[in-house]
């Protein structure tokens, strides 16, 4: 633990490893805040697109970033809404063009550096007893001194199966083979990119979720975190 700030849990890993579900449930069980950092990159892509800024225009992105007010607020139906100013952008940031845009802006060093402070502030808000941050580089870059670090993985086939089912439920006609090929390409891009490549922190606990019900993963993480919190004297905080 680090004195003077909430208990920080980093959950990193590739798309489709179950990070979102696991992070949300772990945060809710522990009464911790949840910071979905992918949603932040997505909101930057949306804001840039709305203003007609090219997603590789570093100078314009650098001007845009400090102007953005990105917040999370509890959703009446459970979960979180993502707000850009007063505008609820929760649905719009999940569309395919914005997913692509998020991937582009997240490769710009100016954007990654510009979002560090926001991610840390959201996690360390004074009302937070703890925070779960979900992302790609939380344990390596955003909070290298996090109190607990997990790196969730699953085989490319399992992740493609989950993604294929998710897309099918939304009416997308992509085949499993197409989804798998796309998955393998993205894994390669993510792990080989020069800035903040996707890799586990040296002190992260690797959790392979292939073939595991996500509830079992949540239970295991909560058990471990509760043990650490009581060891920290923070269980009653």
Give the residues lining the site for ligand DC (CB under 6 A): 15, 37-39, 41-42, 102-103, 106, 135-137
Residue closer to ligand DC, measured from CB, 88 or 232: 88
For ligand DC, the closer CB: 49 or 234: 49
Measured from the CB atom, is 19 or 161 closer to ligand DC? 19
Closest-CA residue to 149 (of 187, 191, 113, 202)? 202
Q: How far is the CB of 148 from ligand DC (least distance, A)?
A: 17
Which is closer to ligand DC, CB of 6 or CB of 38? 38
- Shortest distance in whole angstroms from residue 30 CB to ligand DC: 21
Query: By beta-carbon distance, which residue lies closest to ligand DC?
Result: 38
Surface-to-core class of residue 228, CB atoms within 10 Å of its CB (0-12 exposed, 13-18 middle, 19+ buried): middle
Look at the alpha carbons of 1, 111, 152, 216 in this order and tell me if their dihedral is positive or negative. positive
Report the nearest approach of ligand DC to the CB of residue 28 (Å): 18
* Residue 166: CB minimum distance to ligand DC, A: 12
Residue whose CB is less far from ligand DC, 11 or 221: 11
34 with 131: CB under 8 angstroms?
A: yes
Q: Which long-range contacts (CB under 8 A, 24 or more apart) does 153-156 make?
A: 153/13, 153/14, 153/17, 153/206, 153/207, 153/208, 153/209, 153/210, 154/16, 154/17, 154/18, 154/208, 154/209, 154/210, 155/208, 155/210, 156/180, 156/183, 156/184, 156/187
Q: Which is nearer to ligand DC, 90 or 221 (CB)?
A: 90
Q: What angle separates helix 214-232 from helix 19-30, to the nearest 10 degrees?
A: 40
Residue 45: CB minimum distance to ligand DC, A: 8
Residue 51 Cβ vs ligand DC, minimum distance, rounded to whole Å: 19
């Amino acid at each position: 633990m680090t004195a003077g700030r909430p208990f920080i849990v980093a959950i990193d890993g590739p798309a489709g490893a179950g990070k979102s579900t696991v992070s949300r449930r772990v945060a809710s069980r522990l009464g911790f805040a949840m910071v979905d950092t992918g949603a932040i990159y997505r909101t930057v892509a949306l804001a840039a697109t709305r203003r007609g800024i090219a997603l590789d225009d570093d100078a314009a992105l650098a001007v845009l970033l400090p102007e953005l007010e990105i917040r999370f607020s509890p959703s009446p139906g459970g979960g979180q809404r993502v707000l850009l100013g007063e505008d609820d952008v929760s649905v719009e940031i999940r569309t395919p063009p914005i997913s692509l845009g998020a991937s582009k802006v997240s490769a710009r060093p100016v954007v990654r550096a510009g979002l560090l402070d926001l991610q840390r502030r959201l996690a360390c808000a004074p009302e937070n007893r703890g925070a779960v941050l979900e992302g790609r580089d939380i344990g390596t870059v955003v909070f290298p001194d996090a109190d607990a670090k997990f790196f969730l993985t699953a085989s490319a086939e399992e992740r493609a199966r989950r993604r294929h089912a998710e897309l099918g439920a939304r009416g997308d006609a992509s085949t499993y083979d197409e989804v798998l090929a796309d998955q393998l390409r993205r894994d390669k891009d993510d792990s080989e990119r020069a800035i903040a490549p996707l890799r586990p922190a040296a002190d992260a606990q690797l959790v392979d979720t292939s073939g595991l019900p996500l509830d079992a993963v949540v239970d295991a993480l909560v058990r471990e975190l509760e043990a650490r919190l009581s060891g920290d004297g923070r269980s009653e905080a």
